[in-house]
C-alpha cells in the first residue's frame, strides 16, 4: 500500500488508475482511528472498484469550539495496518496545510437548510466543515464511488445533496452500520467511554431496536415511535440511577434526503437518535423497512 501526502500525487495516482477502460477508483474518506466499521467500507470499495484509496484526515473545520479536535484519537500505524490488510491500494494522509493551503478555511461549501438539521442543529458549522473537506477529497481523488457509513446518516444526506448540487460525477454509497456483539454501533468516539458509560451507551441501540420492532408490528405513527425511543431512554435513566449522565440530544423521524421531520414511517424514512453519555455524544439510526 502506497502512502500519499499531497493532492497532486493523489490525483496522478487516480488518473493513472482509471486510464485503463473499465477500471474504477473507490474512495473511503475517514478521520482515522479505524475500526471494523471502516474495514467494512474498505471491503465494500474493494468489491465494487478496481482501485481503492482510503483518506485519513482529522478535519479541523468540522469540529466546533470546545469539541474534541485536539483529543480525537489518532493511531496512524494501526490505521495503515488495517487499511493495508483490508486491501486499500493507497492511504492518503495529507497535512492540514496541504488540504487548507490558505488556512482553515477561506472557501466553504455550505448546504443551506440541510446542513442545519439533526447533528447540524446541535453542532453549528459541523456539516459545513464536512461538506468542504469531502468536496476537497472528491476534487483531489476524482473517485467513481465514495463509501460512507450509514451510522452518520445525516452526513450521507448532506454529502449526497452536495454531490447533486455541485455536479460531482462520484456515486455516494452508504454502507450498513457495523455493531459490537451487544449492539453498540461502532464509532471512533466509543474509545472515550469508561466502562460505566459504555454500559449506558447501549441505550441508543436499544432505542433503535425498540423502534424497529414496533415498525415490524405495524406501527408507523412517528409520534408513537419517538415516544417508544424516549421511553427506552427514561427507563435507562431510572435503571442506572446515579453515575454518568444519559442526555438525549435528539430523537427524530425524518425523510433521509431532506432531513425534515415526517409524521409517518414510510419505507426509507430515517429514524435517528443522538445522546450524550457523560461528555461523549453518540449517534445511532435505522432506515425503516
| Binding region for ligand PAF (CB under 6 A) | 29-31, 59, 62, 130, 133-134, 152, 155
Nearer to ligand PAF, 62 or 246 (CB): 62
Q: Closest distance between ligand PAF and the C-beta of residue 34, in Å? A: 10
| Cβ at position 157, least distance to ligand PAF in Å | 13
Residues listed for the chain: 289
Minimum CB distance to ligand PAF smaller for 74 or for 289 = 74
Backbone φ and ψ of 144, nearest 5° = -70, -35
User: 18 or 136: whose CB is closer to ligand PAF?
Assistant: 136
38 in catalytic set: yes
Provide the H-helix boundaries in the chain: 7-17, 36-48, 76-85, 96-99, 119-122, 126-141, 153-166, 195-216, 222-240
Rounded CA gap, 270 and 257, in Å?
9
Burial class from Cβ neighbours inside 10 Å (0-12, 13-18, 19+) for residue 182 reads exposed
Q: Give SS3 for 248.
A: strand
CB of 133 to ligand PAF, least distance (A): 5
Smallest distance, ligand PAF to C-beta of residue 235, A: 30
Cβ-based nearer residue to ligand PAF, 130 or 201:
130
Residue burial 27-56, b: 16+ Cβ < 10 Å; e: rest: bbbbbbbbbebbbbbbbbbbeebebbbbbb
**Given the complex with ligand PAF, which of 155 and 280 has the nearer CB atom?**
155
CB of 62 to ligand PAF, least distance (A): 6
CA 158 to chain centre: 11
Measure the CA–CA gap between 131 and 224, rounded to whole angstroms. Answer: 33
Nearest to 91 by CA among 100, 82, 99, 103: 82
Give the active site residue among 35, 38, 51, 126.
Answer: 38
Catalytic sites, residue numbers: 38
Amino acid at each position: 500500500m502506497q502512502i500519499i501526502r499531497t493532492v497532486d500525487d493523489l490525483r496522478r495516482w487516480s488518473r493513472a488508475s482509471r486510464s485503463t477502460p473499465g477500471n474504477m477508483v473507490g474512495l473511503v474518506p475517514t478521520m482515522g482511528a479505524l475500526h471494523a466499521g471502516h474495514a467494512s467500507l474498505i471491503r465494500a470499495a474493494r468489491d465494487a472498484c478496481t482501485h481503492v484509496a482510503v483518506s485519513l484526515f482529522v478535519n479541523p473545520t468540522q469540529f466546533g469550539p470546545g469539541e474534541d479536535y485536539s483529543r480525537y484519537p489518532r493511531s496512524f500505524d494501526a490505521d495503515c495496518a488495517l487499511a493495508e490488510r483490508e486491501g486499500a491500494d493507497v492511504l492518503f494522509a495529507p497535512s492540514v496545510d496541504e488540504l487548507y493551503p490558505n488556512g482553515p478555511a477561506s472557501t466553504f461549501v455550505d448546504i443551506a437548510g440541510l446542513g442545519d438539521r439533526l447533528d447540524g442543529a446541535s453542532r453549528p458549522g459541523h456539516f459545513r466543515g464536512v461538506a468542504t473537506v469531502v468536496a476537497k477529497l472528491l476534487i483531489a481523488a476524482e473517485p467513481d464511488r465514495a463509501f460512507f457509513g450509514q451510522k452518520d446518516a445525516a452526513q450521507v444526506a448532506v454529502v449526497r445533496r452536495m454531490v447533486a448540487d455541485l455536479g460531482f460525477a462520484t456515486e455516494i454509497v452508504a454502507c450498513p452500520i457495523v455493531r459490537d456483539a451487544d449492539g453498540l454501533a461502532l464509532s471512533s468516539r466509543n474509545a472515550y467511554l469508561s466502562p460505566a458509560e459504555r454500559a449506558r451507551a447501549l441505550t441508543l441501540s436499544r432505542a433503535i431496536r425498540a423502534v424497529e420492532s414496533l415498525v415490524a408490528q405495524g406501527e408507523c405513527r412517528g409520534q408513537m415511535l419517538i415516544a417508544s425511543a424516549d421511553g427506552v431512554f427514561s427507563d435507562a435513566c431510572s435503571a442506572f440511577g446515579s453515575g454518568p449522565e444519559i442526555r438525549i440530544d435528539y430523537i427524530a423521524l425524518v425523510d433521509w434526503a431532506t432531513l425534515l421531520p415526517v409524521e409517518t414511517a414510510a419505507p426509507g424514512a430515517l429514524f435517528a437518535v443522538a445522546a450524550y453519555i457523560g461528555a461523549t455524544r453518540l449517534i445511532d439510526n435505522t432506515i425503516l423497512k
